[in-house]
Amino acid sequence: MKKWEILNRLKIEDLRFKIEDLVKILLENRGLKTKKEIEEFLHPNLENVTSKSTGINAAQLKKALIRIKKAIENKEQIIVFGDYDVDGITGSAILWETLYGLGANCLPYIPHRKEEGYGLSILGINKLKTQNSKLKNISLIITVDNGIVANDAVVFANEQGIDVIITDHHAVGEKLPDAYAIVHTTKLCGAGVAYLLSKEIKKDYSSSARSESRSKNSRQARIISSEEDTHLELAALGTVADLVPLTGANRAIVVEGLKKLRETRRIGLLTLFQQARIEQKSIGVYEIGYIIGPRLNASGRIESAMDSLRLLCTNNKERAIELAAKLELTNRERQQLLREAAEHAIARFKNEDLSLKKILIIGHESYEDGVIGLVAGKLVEAFYRPAIVLSLGETVSKASARSISGFNIIEFLRMHVEHFVNVGGHPMAAGFTVETAKIKLLQKRLEEKAAALIGEELLIRTLKIDCELSFGLLSKTLYEKIHQLAPFGMSNPEPIFAARAVTVESFRILGKDGTHLKLVLKQDNSTFEAIAFGMGELGDKIKPGDKIDLAYTLDENTWNGETKLQLKVKDIK
pLDDT per residue as tens digits for the range 233-245: 999 999 999 999 9
pLDDT per residue as tens digits for the range 471-481: 999 999 999 99
According to the model, what pLDDT value does residue 562 have? Answer: 86
Asked if residue 356 has pLDDT above 90, the reply is no
Please choose, from the candidates 467, 478, 457, the residue with its C-alpha nearest in 3D space to the C-alpha of residue 406.
457
3-state helix, strand, coil split of the chain in percent (to 5) is 50, 20, 30
213: pLDDT confidence band, cut at 50, 70 and 90? very low
Mean pLDDT, range 406-418, rounded to an integer: 95
According to the model, what pLDDT value does residue 227 have? Answer: 46
Least confident range from 220-229, 332-341, 494-503, 563-572: namely 220-229
According to the model, what pLDDT value does residue 67 have? Answer: 97
Alpha-carbon distance values, 398 to 47, 116, 369, 376, 390 (Å): 41, 12, 6, 13, 6
According to the model, what pLDDT value does residue 207 have? Answer: 59
**Distance from C-alpha of 499 to C-alpha of 550, rounded to nearest angstrom:** 5
13: pLDDT confidence band, cut at 50, 70 and 90? low
pLDDT per residue as tens digits for the range 510-555: 987 888 999 999 998 999 999 999 999 888 899 999 999 999 999 9
Give percent of the chain above pLDDT 90: 83
According to the model, what pLDDT value does residue 374 have? Answer: 96
Least confident range from 10-19, 366-375, 381-390: namely 10-19
Asked if residue 217 has pLDDT above 60, the reply is no
Report the mean per-residue pLDDT for the chain. Answer: 92
Query: What structural domains and CATH numbers belong to the chain?
Result: 3-40+463-572 (2.40.50.460), 48-226 (3.90.1640.30), 352-459 (3.10.310.30)
Asked if residue 222 has pLDDT above 80, the reply is no
**Distance from C-alpha of 272 to C-alpha of 270, rounded to nearest angstrom:** 5
According to the model, what pLDDT value does residue 18 have? Answer: 80
Instruction: Please answer whether residues 398 and 372 qualify as being in contact, where contact means their C-beta atoms are separated by less than 8 angstroms.
Output: yes
- Give one DSSP letter per residue of 38-85, joined into a string: HHHHHS--GGG--TTTTT--HHHHHHHHHHHHHHHHTT-EEEEE--SS
Q: Give the pTM.
A: 0.91
According to the model, what pLDDT value does residue 223 have? Answer: 47
Mean pLDDT, range 82-102, rounded to an integer: 97
Asked if residue 341 has pLDDT above 90, the reply is yes
pLDDT per residue as tens digits for the range 449-467: 999 999 999 999 999 999 9
Please choose, from the candidates 299, 282, 371, the residue with its C-alpha nearest in 3D space to the C-alpha of residue 335.
371
